Amino acid sequence: MQAVHEGQCGLCGHFGEGHAKNDVLVSILSKKEADVVFVDDCGHPKHAGLHLKVTPISGCDGFVPAAAA
């Protein structure tokens, strides 16, 4: 497990946005730590069409804070 910080995908509202929030996403948000081999889709409008897959510690300027569980 590795710490996930503000600005990184694991805490971004676009991380896994295209599907229901699962236990893994909820756990990353609540514990602010993640298994860094985990990947999920980025739902940002500029990335979604490319089916970008990101890890919880990836990031970009499109970050928006995920709504609290």
- Do the beta carbons of residue 22 and residue 38 sit within 8 Å? no
- Residue from 2, 29, 59, 67 binding ligand SF4 (CB under 6 A): 59
Is 9 a binder of ligand SF4 (CB under 6 A)? yes
From the list 35, 43, 48, the residue with the least C-alpha distance to 64 is: 43
User: What is the rounded end-to-end Cα distance, in angstroms, of the chain?
Assistant: 20
Is 44 a binder of ligand SF4 (CB under 6 A)? yes
Is 66 a binder of ligand SF4 (CB under 6 A)? no
Q: Which residues bind ligand SF4 (CB under 6 A)?
A: 9, 12, 14-15, 42, 44, 47, 54, 58-60, 62-63
